[in-house]
Amino acid sequence: MDFEKNQVPLSLIDSEDQTFRITTETGIDDILDSIKNVGLINPPILIKKKSKYTIICGFRRIAAYQILGLLNIEAKILGSNDRELDCIKIAITDNSFQRPLNLIEQSRSLFMLSGFFKDITSLADAASSLGLPCNPSLIKKIINIYHLPSPIQKGILSNTISLAMAVELGAFEKDAGITFARIFNDLKLGLNKQRELITLINEISLRENIPVMKVIQESNFQEILQNDEFDRTKKTEKLRFYLKKRRYPSIAQAEQDFESLINELKLKNGMKLIPPKNFEGNTFIIKLYFNNLKELQDHSDTLKKIIQNPIFKKQVSGVGD
């Protein structure tokens, strides 16, 4: 493909036209420093459209020139007859061979390409030649990211939301997906806790035959989220307890009773009482750690007290009923 190098007035460049933008980067401090110290090393690539130029690649370089108050920039100019697909390939190549593209940039690239290929196999071949993922199944997931609301995309960029979770959030109604993304970001939840939260809310929604957003918007849920006295960890704990109590009332009550029991027993260091999983069944586990016979004897004395404790007796007899 032939380029014509020329000085182009910045006033003739349409910076609002984002048709070929791949990068999610908006900061330009690094480019400003580079231009000030060594000048423009890699000129942007433009294409003439009517009376103005559209940017193929070099959005941040052009923004830096504008901030520096410069009037003209050296650019490589494509012929007006060059195909749109070729322009897209140049834009992707300029970005992908400088650094690995993040998921949002990959989704933009694959979405741009997808309009020119009739099937996923052809798209995968083209993607591979441009340094993009070439697995058809993965390509479909990544392209879907392009259509997700901005808060979910921002969660992906900040590594708060994984590709798998983004796909799940995309299946919700728009408001619900956005709300989940904001909660995950505010509380900095890991993937397991994200899944737990979604599962509990979904199950409550189905069990009570109400929309997901109604579960999230109810006062008890919102009071926990908006309580400034709680840090993120405390909010997460309280939200999980509230949702579990609502989803599994009997288990939540058993957990609360068990916590009271532990406080009542005042177990010494080196002794741990473990209830049945989900408080289903009758098997409790007691773990003992000791370094000498004296510590073992102390544990033995404590065990006798535990056996005689009325709260413990009630807890044991109640589990599995």
**255-291 tens-digit pLDDT:** 777 888 888 888 878 888 888 876 767 788 989 999 9
Same domain for 229 and 293, yes or no, is no
Of the two residues 7 and 258, the one the predictor is more confident about is: 7
Whether the Cβ atoms of residue 194 and residue 162 lie closer than 8 Å to each other: no
188 vs 232: CA distance, rounded Å: 8
3-class SS of residue 8 = strand
What is the number of alpha carbons within 13 Å of residue 92 lying toward its C-beta?
24
- As a whole number of Å, the end-to-end CA separation of the chain is 77
| Domain-embedded: residue 57 | yes
Q: What's the structural domain count of the chain?
A: 3
The values of phi and psi at residue 230, to 5°, are -95, 140
At 159, the amino acid letter reads N
| Domain-embedded: residue 120 | no
Same domain for 264 and 240, yes or no, is no
3-class SS of residue 15 = coil
| Domain-embedded: residue 62 | yes
93 vs 238: CA distance, rounded Å: 48
Same domain for 237 and 262, yes or no, is no
Contacts of 189 (CB under 8 A, 6+ apart): 160, 183, 197, 236
pLDDT, average across residues 38-45: 91
Q: What is the pLDDT of residue 319?
A: 59
Apex 247 CA angle, 182 and 256, nearest 5: 100
Same domain for 14 and 67, yes or no, is yes
Tell me which of 8-22, 59-73, 169-183, 299-313 is least confident: 299-313
Alpha carbon 242 to its chain's center: 24
| Domain-embedded: residue 19 | yes
CA dist list (Å): 27 to 24, 44, 59, 61, 225: 9, 17, 11, 11, 32
Same domain for 17 and 37, yes or no, is yes
Is the model's pLDDT at 53 over the cut of 90? yes
Whether the Cβ atoms of residue 262 and residue 256 lie closer than 8 Å to each other: no
pTM for the structure as a whole: 0.74
| Domain-embedded: residue 12 | yes
Last residue of a domain, one of 247, 275, 304: 247
Last residue of a domain, one of 227, 247, 267: 247
pLDDT, average across residues 123-148: 94
Is the model's pLDDT at 156 over the cut of 60? yes
Containing domain of residue 17, as a range? 1-99
Same domain for 81 and 34, yes or no, is yes
Same domain for 62 and 95, yes or no, is yes
| Domain-embedded: residue 171 | yes
Same domain for 241 and 269, yes or no, is no
- Which ranges of the chain does DSSP label H, i.e. alpha helix? 29-38, 59-67, 84-96, 103-114, 120-129, 136-145, 150-157, 163-170, 174-187, 191-208, 212-217, 219-226, 232-247, 249-265, 293-308, 310-318
| Domain-embedded: residue 223 | yes
| Domain-embedded: residue 116 | no
